[in-house]
A and B are shown apart, each in its own frame.
Chain A
Amino acid sequence: MVTKLKEVDAVIVGLGWTGGILAKELTQAGLKVVALERGVHRNTAEDYALPGVRDELRFVHRHDLMQNPARDTITVRNNVKQEALPMRRLGSFLPGDGVGGSGVHWSGHTWRWTDNEFKVRSMYEARYGKNFIPEDMTIQDWGITYAELEPYYDKFEYVAAVSGKAGNIKGVIQPGGNPFEAPRAREYALPPLTDIQSSKMFSEAARNMGYHPFPRPSANASRAYTNPDGSKFGACQYCGFCQRFGCEANAKGSAHITVIPIAMASPNFELRANSWVTQVLKDPAGKKVTGVRYTNLMNGEEYEQPAGIVLLTAYAINNVHLMLLSGIGEPYDPVSQKGVIGKNYCYQTGVGANLFFDDHNFNPFMSAGGSNHTIDDFNANWDFDRGPHGFVGGFTIGAGFNTSLPIGNRPVPSGTPAWGTAWKAAQAKSYQTAMNIGSSGSVMANRYNYFDLDPTYKNAFGQPLMRMTFDYKANEHKMGELAAKLVNDIAKAMNPTSFNRASSRQSWTVVPYQSTHNTGGTIMGVNPKVSALNKYLQNWDYHNLFVVGANVFPHNGSYNPTGPVGALAYWTADAIKNRYMKNPGPLVQA
């Protein structure tokens, strides 16, 4: 028996950064909004307070703030010939749940993706010719430009307390910042974080090699701060417990201390936590969605929540899953290359080297989420000629510390025994005298990397799990080899006593943790034949359905995704408030 509730103007599925931004913006525009969040409602004072929040075992290794795969997970395989099996425990990526979502426990790295991504196919074809892009590489332009998104990046950065140093203000290169970034209208909201020893040493080496290091922009407030909405931030305390943890100082940009409390103060808004949405409902005519069905996890009762607008704002993977479960759009088929839902799933890649010193001490436990210096010479730098290397995309290289806690961060030189006194001797020395240089690399879309529904395995609601088919292709291997070589070159230049060499990743595996930057599956674009959403993240088939998150990215860049995810949420909110509400219907004619 499903209880049908009273219709609201908009229903939001998942209340993290994107759901929170839309909840705030739409309630302020006068809409009645209900947010359904499958997880619990946590807040800083009770749930992220000292000393309990300083628990590496609980939050990093037991995944206390993450989705529980016992209830719902995905199945995984490297290629279409393999049988997919369930990801039985979290590993390679860690999607969050609960009010605030992954914004509670991210590190805060906030980048502005550029036209190198948004116009990827046209820029590479123009420079290198059509044949440079392999036939199975299904990259396409996003349908949006950096110039359109710039004000929305700015808005997100100022809301989230991003600390950094501008490298390009209105076309004028700024000393100390990233000279390869696209022009921004003004400085970051806050000055950069204080440098730590490892990032300083990396910067010096990189600068001596002719590269352009800069402090990584990050939503860790370098000073106490009040954002333009009046949300208050404490100053970052460099406590060393950032990634995977809520911030007891309210110094990390998170929806649960910014946009969500503003929405919650509005009489137009209602939050229902512990509410698991199982389906988006459609009208029989196939023009509009009518609401969602969900289960109250407190008692197992099912409800239908009718709504004028449905906004899917859950984790990227969950958004795609809900689209497939609801039968919205045509599922993508890698053989015929028809259909769009599930298309262009991408991940990220990376390499890393550990450096061991006798004459330095790094205090890895003193760091912010964004205590890192980075070079963008092989990513946003379009002058970097990919031609001789034969790959599309790019990678950043950086060094510093982020949440370098002792259960998980145990660097020892290669060849050290795994236990006994010799291991302890190496561990006792290396915890404080080793550092890492890492690269983060893009992954281009490929016709055989995609999502669909698994034919065998089911979740706790009896619904099919989503199946992920993914592996790195030749493009990523070529890029990984160059990234490893450059990381090793910088490592050597830093003159460590020894270092464990970086090497290119081979095939993708679900263990260990790599990155929670999963993208694609319901991609934005200019054409309904090859994309699920238009440039306003509005579904081509059902004009009152918007899907927001990294699931809209047609491919994955080397940067962390939250910058464009947050900017696109504001962009979509504006499109709904200023255009859709006045004249409901498709915002782009197919």
Chain B
Amino acid sequence: MKDDGINRRDFLKGAVAGGAVATTAAVGMTPQAAQAQQKPAAAPASPGYSYLNLEEAAFVEAMVDHMIPADQYSPKGTDLGINIYIDRALAGGWGKGDRLYMQGPWKVGHPNQGYQLPLKPADLYRAGIAATNAYCKKTYGKTFDQLPAAQKQEVLVGLQGNKIKFDSGLPTNTFFGTMYQTVMEGMFADPIYGGNRNKAVWKMIGFPGVVAVHAQNIEKFRDKRYVVEPLGIADLS
């Protein structure tokens, strides 16, 4: 019963999604085939952003495609929907600091005291993108999204290692840490949140997703690979 429902739903999704989504089903293809399929997806219709403005969208798309390039392991970041994941996360409760104590006074504090900025994640992201683009323009004469790959890499390494300092005083590595966290969430979270499209990242690592029962598999698959088509929350809903 349940299996029939899943198969039918998958079939319908494939049939309706047509071009853009189907191009991301790159797992199992040769690297060449996967890359060839990226081309039609390079100019999709605007995905529709809820929080990011045009400059921020360009930054995020360039950043996720640089960090998560198309290769034999997965489609590239925008084809996985990581940009969409990030936009939704920033627009939603987490981005708006729904679980963040936001009363002052505000102090820099010691790193052991954790996050102390008077910024909600969405504010931090916005300020961080603007500051990174300002740095890129000053250093390279272009915004981040316009840079060649080698310079994008330089910038991201500089942010990660706190080597780049923002004129605004915004702590570079705090911005980078938040950005990196959202890229990982967009990679590995359930596809209902907009990333990990077609569970391509779960396929990459062999994570079976929303499985109900493994009791009968513990001994059977001990030290053996368990290969199944992963299921997401939507597949069982």
Contacts and interface: CB of A to CB of B under 8 A. Distances in A.
Interface of A: 50-52, 54-57, 61-63, 68-70, 73, 76-78, 82-91, 194-197, 200, 235-240, 248, 360-363, 365-366, 405-407, 410, 418-421, 424-425, 427-428, 431-432, 456-458, 507-511
Given A52-B233, A197-B223, A419-B156, A407 B115 contact: no
B93 to A, nearest CB: 8
B17 to A, nearest CB: 21
Interface of A is mostly: loop
Contacts of A50: 210, 212, 236
A69 B115 CA distance: 13
Contacts of B218: 194, 196, 238, 366
Interface string B203-231: 01111111111110111011111100000
Contacts of B109: 83, 85
B114 A57 contact: no
A70 B224 CA distance: 45
A432 B201 CA distance: 14
A366 B188 contact: no
Contacts, number: 179
A204 B236 CA distance: 39
A89 B214 contact: no
Contacts of B73: 421, 424-425, 428
Interface string B106-119: 01011111111000
B56 interface: no
Contact of A89 (B69, B99, B184, B225): B99
Given A424-B71, A424-B74, A432-B225, A83 B202 contact: no
Contacts of A196: 218, 222
B67 A457 contact: no
Most A CB within 10 A of own CB, among B113, B156, B211: B113
The 10 closest A-B pairs by CB, nearest first: A51-B236, A419-B67, A509-B112, A431-B205, A510-B114, A406-B188, A54-B210, A57-B189, A238-B214, A424-B73
B185 A57 contact: yes
Contact of A366 (B99, B183, B226): B226
Most B CB within 10 A of own CB, among A362, A421, A508: A421
A70 B100 contact: yes
B98 interface: yes
Contacts of B188: 56, 405-407, 410
A54 B116 CA distance: 31
Nearest to B97: A70
Interface string B179-209: 0100111011110110000000110111111
Given A421-B73, A509-B112, A86 B101 contact: yes
A78 B110 contact: yes
Nearest to A52: B233
8 contacts: A51-B235, A56-B190, A57-B193, A84-B113, A88-B114, A237-B213, A363-B226, A511-B114
Interface of B: 66-69, 71, 73-74, 94, 97-103, 105, 107, 109-116, 156, 160, 180, 183-185, 187-190, 192-193, 201-202, 204-215, 217-219, 221-226, 233, 235-237
Contacts of B68: 419, 424
B67 A91 contact: no
B234 to A, nearest CB: 8
Given A55-B233, A196-B218, A407-B188, 20 more contacts: A52-B233, A54-B190, A54-B211, A54-B233, A63-B99, A68-B99, A73-B101, A85-B107, A85-B116, A89-B115, A194-B218, A238-B213, A238-B215, A239-B212, A363-B217, A365-B208, A418-B160, A424-B68, A424-B204, A458-B103
A422 to B, nearest CB: 10
Given A237-B214, A418-B160, A91 B223 contact: no
A108 to B, nearest CB: 16
Given A87-B114, A406-B188, A406-B202, A239 B213 contact: yes
B210 A51 contact: yes
B35 to A, nearest CB: 12
Contacts of A405: 188, 207
A194 B219 contact: yes
A310 B139 CA distance: 65
A418 B187 CA distance: 13
Contacts of B189: 56-57, 407
Interface of B is mostly: loop
Contacts of B235: 51
Contacts of A52: 233
Contacts of A366: 214, 217-218, 221, 226
Nearest to B176: A418
B36 to A, nearest CB: 17
B237 A421 contact: no
A143 B23 CA distance: 68
A86 B68 CA distance: 35
B223 to A, nearest CB: 5
Nearest to A248: B212
Contact of A510 (B94, B98, B113): B113
Contacts of B193: 57
A85 B233 contact: no
A62 B99 contact: yes
A361 B224 contact: yes
Contacts of B102: 70, 88
B150 to A, nearest CB: 12
A197 B224 CA distance: 9
A432 B205 contact: yes
A197 B218 CA distance: 9
Contacts of A425: 73
A420 B212 contact: no
B115 A88 contact: yes
Contacts of A236: 215
B103 A407 contact: no
A418 B63 CA distance: 13
A362 B208 CA distance: 13
A84 B215 CA distance: 47
Contacts of A418: 160, 180
A428 B205 contact: yes
Nearest to B71: A421
Given A88-B114, A196-B222, A428 B103 contact: no
A499 B203 CA distance: 25
Given A62-B94, A424-B71, A509-B114, A363 B210 contact: no
Contacts of A63: 99
A221 to B, nearest CB: 11
Contact of B206 (A85, A194, A432): A432
A492 B23 CA distance: 44
B149 to A, nearest CB: 10
Most A CB within 10 A of own CB, among B111, B180, B211: B211
Contacts of A194: 215, 218-219
B84 to A, nearest CB: 14
B133 to A, nearest CB: 19
Contact of B101 (A89, A239, A240, A362): A89
A118 to B, nearest CB: 32
A69 B116 CA distance: 13
Given A51-B236, A83-B107, A239-B214, A420 B69 contact: yes
